[in-house]
Amino acid sequence: MSTILSVYNLGKNYVSAGRNLTVLHDVTFSVEERSMVSIVGPSGSGKTTLLGLCAGLDRASKGSIELNGVSLNGLNEDARARIRNQYTGFIFQNFQLLPTLTALENVLVPLELRGLKNVRPKALDLLDKVGLADRSHHYPVQLSGGEQQRVAIARAFSNDPRILFADEPTGNLDTTTSERIIRLIFDLNREMGTTLIMVTHDMELAARTGRVIRMRGGSIYSDEPMVS
């Protein structure tokens, strides 16, 4: 197994209302390719901040991140966006589909950003995989929460990500829909050999990923394999 993500002594400060707030302190961990990892912890413990830094959505204040062998240190937003589009997929709690685009067009966005041609068949195939072949021309507002999240999953997998980040992907869904969404993420992950890093508050779900990183007050306080 090789390492796909290495995080070393990571720190993040925010300046808020004139005050300097340290929300991550010296976070160090690494993730093996094709593995599944959950990040859990109380609200405000820094989970979303950590996930966003690892995915290149934001810039660290200190420390280093290496994603698929590429260092994110010191990269500006454009360079981070390129790396994100090349190697990562991201699933948000509130789906974050573009409201003026259809389901199909939302899935096409990452492919078109990469300048790829003839990508409609691939996007349609992904929508079929998530069970939404018949909804490809619907707009987000015409879809249920579970359907919107399935479109977001198809979009996240559209550029064949090496690593998929998911931030509370079932947080806004009922229990039955959540289970369907999680199975879909796990199945696609296995099928495509993607690495998964997921923030969740659901301990039962976390236990299903094989490894759980617990955070408290901006630091990791335990990092354990789960024995099922």
Question: Quick one: which of 26, 30, 32, 44 contacts ligand ADP (CB under 6 A)?
Answer: 44
221 binds ligand ADP (CB under 6 A): no
Of 75-104, binders to ligand ADP (CB under 6 A) are none
Per-residue x/- mask for ligand ADP, residues 49 to 78, rule CB under 6 A?
A: x-----------------------------
The answer to the question of residue 214 lying near ligand ADP (CB under 6 A) is: no
Should residue 169 be labelled a site residue for ligand ADP when binding is judged by CB under 6 A? no
- Separation CA 57–CA 80 (nearest Å): 7
Is residue 133 within the footprint of ligand ADP (CB under 6 A)?
no
> Which residue stretch of 46-54, 68-76, 154-162, 178-186 sits at the interface with ligand ADP (rule: CB under 6 A)?
46-54
46 and 11 Cβ atoms separated by less than 8 Å:
no
Question: Is residue 200 close enough to count as binding ligand ADP by CB under 6 A?
Answer: no
38 binds ligand ADP (CB under 6 A): no
Q: Which residues bind ligand ADP (CB under 6 A)?
A: 14, 16, 21, 23, 41, 43-49
